[in-house]
Copies of this chain bind each other. A is one copy, B any other.
């Protein structure tokens, strides 16, 4: 499957990984997460080396994961530590692949590629999610859409005026300015809406907003599947420092080519303890992501087989610049990885068990 494996991906929110195993498929790999006795999360291939049973249907006791089929037990590093059959032998063929894990910024990240290449310094910075001076809401959705089509959507703010018209339509849309820049490995799309009436969502959250505001939006893509979307408003003509805004977490982890794990959140610098605003944002996240974006992307996906069969190429608009640059960069990373795999004569996904213990950020 056409994925970049050598990258950090979010597999779960910390409170999803508890005293029971959690099954989740990532990049086509069935994985199981559980907590060890020291509280560290562990992630293994969810496939017992014996008969390929689902370890996630088993149980966790004493930080060990027990297979539901024949009772083999595994530690967080994937090593088989108990075999109740025959003489109890535990050859290395009974070990299961484990993945490097880092829990940071209220997210559990795994390195999906060769464990030797995992560097926690490459994990995108989402510290806004745990900033005590901000107000947070967020969660997890499973969407039946391709992650690349969702990423096109996230990097392209031109769709907001139409897909999210009920809450986000702005009379400043025709006058907005856009700039796309690359910063080290990241790609940003900056948009400014000068001196426009606040949109419906802003009016809902900031009833005291003035008649005219300046708006900013900064969508930052971190390779390969995470974006942070900072949106802010200030009275028209005032300093950007006086703005009220929120950093939006939008992290897409491919389950398969046709389904995506979506980790989302909003971290705002206003009304941070106001549960009514929490509720407004929660409803908006459900509406925007699971109804509006989902619908349009699913329909694009439904037409992609026809478009491919007829060799259609999308006719790009000016609003697509950031999405196109991100897409080309991911294509490049995939190509690099494929070529590396073919020259090294090593499959990108090792079938032997990986001994590295989980990392912790």
Give the interface of A toward B (CB within 8 A). 28-30, 46-47, 49-54, 57, 67-71, 83-87, 91, 93-94, 152, 158-159, 161-163, 173-174, 295-296, 299-300, 302-304, 306-307, 310-312, 314-320, 347, 349, 351
Q: Name 25 interchain pairs, CB-CB below 8 A, sorted by A.
A: A29-B306, A30-B306, A46-B303, A47-B303, A49-B312, A49-B314, A51-B300, A51-B314, A52-B304, A54-B300, A57-B295, A57-B299, A67-B162, A68-B163, A68-B296, A69-B163, A69-B296, A69-B300, A70-B162, A70-B317, A71-B162, A85-B317, A91-B315, A93-B315, A310-B351
Of all chain B residues, the one with the shortest Cβ separation from A304 is B52
Are B69's CB and A162's CB within 8 A? yes
Q: How far, in angstroms, from A311 to B351 measured CA to CA in the complex?
A: 8
Say how many copies of this protein the assembly contains: 3
For the complex, give the distance between the alpha carbons of A303 and B161 in Å: 43
**Selected contact of A52 from candidates B46, B159, B303, CB within 8 Å:** B303
Q: Which residues on the B side are within 8 Å of A312 (C-beta)?
A: 47, 49, 52, 351
Question: Which of these, B54, B303, B311, contacts A299 with CB under 8 Å?
Answer: B54
Query: In the bound complex, do residue B68 and residue A162 qualify as a contact, i.e. CB atoms below 8 Å apart?
Result: yes
Contact A317 B86 (CB under 8 A): yes
Across-interface contacts of A47 in B (CB, < 8 A): 303, 306-307, 312
Alpha-carbon distance between A135 and B201 when the two chains are bound, in angstroms: 55
Find out whether the CB atom of A310 lies under 8 angstroms from the CB atom of B349. Answer: yes
Give which listed residue, B158, B295, B310, B347, contacts A70 with CB less than 8 A: B158
In the bound complex, residues from chain B placing their C-beta under 8 Å from that of A161 are: 71, 84
CA A196 to CA B55, docked complex, whole Å: 29
A225 → chain B closest CB, angstroms: 19
In this complex, what residue of B is CB-closest to A51?
B314
Q: Which of B53, B306, B351 contacts A296 (CB 8 A)?
A: B53
User: If the complex has contacts A70-B158, A162-B71, are A50 and B351 also in contact, measured as CB distance less than 8 A?
Assistant: no
Residues of B within 8 A of A84 (CB): 161, 173-174
**A314 contacts which chain B residues (CB < 8 A)?**
49-52
B315 in contact with A49 (CB, 8 Å): yes
Contacts of A347 in B (CB 8 A): 310
Given contacts A51-B314, A319-B86, contact A69 B351 (CB under 8 A): no
**B residues within 8 A CB of A315?**
49-50, 91, 93-94
Contact A69 B304 (CB under 8 A): no
A174 closest partner in B (C-beta): B84
6 closest A-B pairs (Cβ-Cβ)?
Answer: A86-B318, A54-B299, A93-B315, A85-B317, A49-B315, A71-B162
